[in-house]
Structure 1
Amino acid sequence: MRIALCQIPVSPDTAVNLSRVRSALAEAARGGADLAVFPEATMVRFGGDLRAAAEPLDGPFCSGLAAACASTGVWLVAGVFEPAPDGRVYNTAVAFAGSGALVAAYRKLHLFDALGQRESDLVAPGAGVVVAELCGVPAGLQTCYDIRFPELSRALAVGGASLLVVSAAWQAGLFKEEHWVTLLRARAIENTVWVAACGQVPDPDSPPTRAPTGVGRSMLIDPLGVVRADLGPAAGVVVAEADLSVTGSVRSALPSLANRREDVFGPALPAAAPASAG
């Protein structure tokens, strides 16, 4: 499976962002990518009016994502905002097939109410974990702050995921970049899964904001925790190979999932829900 990490800057203008997605997806297609991973909040950067930007999953922005996938044949995961019933928005990771069909939608479970931020003021939490078939591979979806909660990754792995897809706008700060790299590698190692994580980088054409924009460091990590690709801090697209047969061989040699003591600790979490496109 060839995975493109599309580390783009995100503007307050949804039209600009959709144009950047199209350009990055075309580059991913030229590199032979099967799946392209984009950042959290690809629709519009944090710090703007998320309520005004939010759309249903059949709205113009997601329709544009679907059309871009259909024109390139590349599958896609990206972060969008959709209206929530209580007047807030959902921070949602959507997955589209290369045909343009919406195959999954995951609403962020863990909201970033930490380090001076209050995501929950504007964002409503999701209620379930999602494992979806992406290019025939069972993949668990996560968003940014979720990666700090190991029980979510474990539930996805126990639910069948051999790949974790993480979209992020990981904010800069003391030790933050080190946390990002360490947590991603830890989630890969402890669950013997591939991790494809894509983060935003700051948009040079937009005014500064205290809201998260991202440090970059999009990475592809194998089930032994080896970093196979790392984009660093600058915008760019890289296509890297994820050999999913490695997962089986690692789990045969290092059966940490099979060796779990459910008799002592109980099940990890309720089983992952089937992929939901609505």
Structure 2
Amino acid sequence: MLVAAGQFAVTPDWRANAQTCVALMAQAAEQGASLLVLPEALLARDDSDPDLSVKSAQEIDGGFLGRLREESRNNGLTTVLTIHVPSGEGRAANTLVAIRRGEVIAQYQKLHLYDAFNIQESRRVDAGLQIPALIDVDGVRVGLMTCYDLRFPELALSLALSGAEILVLPPRG
């Protein structure tokens, strides 16, 4: 299985970020990748506005993911990414999504929120409650994790005991 990393600096403009993702998806598919891992919090990010990811949250069937799902219909590539999805008034969930052939094949909400030093993620973000399911990519069982969940080895252990052969984590872009 060939894995591609689609790393780029996420901008405040979700449309520009979607276009960059689409280009990376096409490039990864053209080069024979089976799995593309895109950055975390892809909708919008700006260091001068730490709440922009939450303020820019979109539903799973929103314009951003709709554009990526449209591109994924063109190939068998599995693409893993995270976006913020509205979870309440002024709140969102950091949600990992895996798409393939135009469909969302897996999703899970980040389980562990980062509340340390000068960052209080729980102020605007809601934690998930479910351990992510494994996905199959070219016969390889893939475990999904994101962000701060990496710091809790019980999740990786649970995924491994469930049969994960590799773990995939979208990086901070």
TM-score normalised to structure 2 length: 0.90
What does residue range 187-206 of structure 1 map to in structure 2 within 5 Å? 200=173
- Look up the match of 1:126: 128
Distance 1:3 1:78 in 2: 14
Partner of 1:124: helix, strand, or coil?
Answer: coil
Partner of 1:157: helix, strand, or coil?
Answer: helix
Cα 1:55–1:30 shift into 2, 3 Å: same
Partner of 1:127: helix, strand, or coil?
Answer: coil
Distance 1:43 1:134 in 2: 26
Question: Residue 25 of structure 1 contacts residue 72 of structure 1 at CA under 8 Å; is this kept in 2?
Answer: no
In structure 1, stretches of 5+ residues that fail to align are: 170-199, 201-278
Partner of 2:25: helix, strand, or coil?
Answer: helix
- Look up the match of 1:223: none
Q: Are residues 1:145 and 2:148 paired?
A: yes
What does residue range 259-270 of structure 1 map to in structure 2 within 5 Å? none
**Letter aligned with residue 39 of structure 2:** P
Deviations 1:46-69 (A, max 9, x none): 624334311111111111111121
Q: Are residues 1:116 and 2:118 paired?
A: yes
Shift of residue 3 of structure 1? 0.7
**What root-mean-square deviation, in Å, do the aligned CA atoms of Structure 1 and Structure 2 show?**
1.5
**Letter aligned with residue 69 of structure 1:** S
Number of equivalences:
169
- Look up the match of 2:109: 107
**Letter aligned with residue 110 of structure 1:** H
Distance 1:37 1:50 in 2: 19
Partner of 1:154: helix, strand, or coil?
Answer: helix
**Letter aligned with residue 34 of structure 2:** D
Partner of 1:168: helix, strand, or coil?
Answer: coil
Q: Are residues 1:74 and 2:77 paired?
A: yes
**Letter aligned with residue 152 of structure 2:** F
Deviations 1:105-141 (A, max 9, x none): 1100111112321111111000011123232432221
Deviations 1:7-29 (A, max 9, x none): 11100110010011011112111
**Letter aligned with residue 149 of structure 1:** F
Tell me the percent identity. 38
- Look up the match of 1:162: 165
Distance 1:89 1:95 in 2: 18
TM-score normalised to structure 1 length: 0.58
**Letter aligned with residue 20 of structure 1:** T
Greater Cα radius of gyration, structure 1 or 2: 1
Distance 2:94 2:151 in 1: 17
